[in-house]
Amino acid sequence: MADIKLTNVSKSFGSVTVIDRLSLTVASGEFVVFLGPSGSGKSTLLRMIAGLETIDEGTLEIGGERCENAAPGQRGVAMVFQNYALYPHMSVRENMAFGLRNISMPEDEIDKRVQEAARVLEMEQLLQRKPAQLSGGQRQRVAIGRAIVKEPKAFLFDEPLSNLDAALRVRTRVELAQLHQRIKSTMIYVTHDQTEAMTLADRIVVLNDRKIEQIGTPMDVYLRPASRFVAGFVGSPGMNFLRADIHGGTDQRAKLPNGAEFAINVDGPGAGEYELGIRPEAIRILGEDQGVTLAKAGVVERLGERTLVYCTLEDGTELIAQDEGRSDVRPGDSIGLDFDTSAMHLFDTKGQAYHTA
């Protein structure tokens, strides 16, 4: 295992800067997920660590050794790609052993490492099969096994589950979490799927527009987003945003455009106009004559354990509220909404977040 330290790294393609003076430290044995939309630079950053993209400026240390100018094979990392890149004419065993044979490792050591990787991945019975005889999840495990046999300092995963169907993605995600618990290696994982990030990561690095928006544990990022972008990107469905006028001193109050007003207690902001953020689960659906404000139910999504209700306030503001799975709300119903003021956030014109005290 080894820690990975990036200091003021930058990367440009021609006149386009994709990573701009970014610094980050991944602790030894940590599972860190790079999360962000397409074009945020997360895969480029991973490839810079792997040596598949050059680092234009800044330094990279892996296990305390400077590596920004080292060849990929000298960095002690193993990468698992989105496509499995298996040799179709080779068995699982041969695919896993191929890289070790290329460096002239003794056959007995190769066999030992392949057997151990197969045991860890619970695929001993698959070693004689060809890739065409495997399911998508099994092929991905072979690709991971090919990385494990190298005994790297760190594993780098570039959206490894994106080619799998939904059910298989869930199972393989659990297998990856279990693998990390067993081998306790440093792992960096790139995804745009927030569910993968929330369920796998020790820490999430949220990337946007060439820079880091926030670094934190999954629940830190979810409950205390550092910016308007993070609040809107993390969460499914996303956070609701409403215009609100904040006034009062010690008796801080928020007033919505439809006239609804309620007390809040958010640290930092002065009086003025803000965006008020609140997640669907922090909005309670009540009877028509109850709550802070009146709304009309539109689309009702019944998801089993919960029901999402897409609502419209009197002034046309749209938001999503969450009700219990057995909700009796129907499209067109007039409903009252109550807000959990302990779970509110305010965002100023620059996108800076202020949280409940």
One domain, residues 267 and 340: yes
pLDDT band per the 50, 70, 90 thresholds, residue 28 = very high
Backbone phi, psi, residue 257, to 5°: -60, -25
**Are residues 313 and 301 in contact, defined by beta-carbon separation less than 8 angstroms?**
no
268 and 180 within one domain: no
Distance CA 212, CA 198 (A): 17
Q: Are residues 344 and 296 in the same domain?
A: yes
- Asked whether residue 243 falls in the same domain as residue 220, the answer is no
Q: Would you state the pLDDT for residue 182?
A: 84
pLDDT at 274: 93
| Position 332 pLDDT exceeds 70 | yes
As a whole number of angstroms, the distance between CA 99 and CA 90 comes to 13
Domain that residue 129 falls in: 4-227
The whole-model pTM stands at 0.89
- Between 92-102 and 136-148, two packed helices, what is the crossing angle to 10 degrees? 30
Q: Is-cis flag, bond preceding 131, omega within 30?
A: no
- On whether the CB atoms of residues 10 and 68 are closer than 8 A, the answer is no
Tell me how far apart the alpha carbons of residues 222 and 215 are, in angstroms, rounded to a whole number.
11
Please state the rounded mean pLDDT for residues 71-82: 89
Residue 287 confidence (pLDDT): 85
Residue 249: is its pLDDT beyond 80? Answer: no
Shared domain for 32 and 126, answered yes or no, is yes
The secondary structure of 154-216 as a DSSP string is EEEEESTTTTS-HHHHHHHHHHHHHHHHHH--EEEEEES-HHHHHHH-SEEEEEETTEEEEEE
Position 232 in a domain: no
Total domains in the chain come to 2
- pLDDT computed for residue 276 by the predictor: 94
Q: Is the pLDDT of residue 85 over 90?
A: no
Question: CATH code at 212?
Answer: 3.40.50.300
Residue 174 placed within a domain: yes
Query: CA-to-CA distance for 282 and 235, rounded, in angstroms?
Result: 13
Confidence of residue 339 (pLDDT cuts 50, 70, 90): very high
Summarised one tens digit per residue, pLDDT across range 145-199 is 888 898 889 999 998 888 777 887 888 888 888 888 888 899 999 999 888 999 9
pLDDT at 347: 95
- Taking only the tens place, the pLDDT of each residue in 269-296 is 788 999 999 999 999 999 888 888 999 9
Tell me if 311 sits within 8 A of 298, measured CB to CB. yes
- Strand residue runs (E) in 1-136: 4-13, 16-26, 31-35, 57-62, 65-66, 77-80
166 to 153, 158, 306, 337: CA distances (angstroms): 31, 18, 20, 34
Q: Compute the average pLDDT of residues 96-119.
A: 90
Q: Are residues 159 and 270 in the same domain?
A: no
pLDDT interval class at 224 (50, 70, 90):
very high
Mean pLDDT of the 317-332 span: 94
Q: Answer whether residue 1 shows pLDDT above 70.
A: no
Half-sphere exposure for 197 (CA within 13 Å, toward CB): 28
- Return the pLDDT at 46: 95
Clarify whether residues 78 and 200 are in a common domain.
Answer: yes
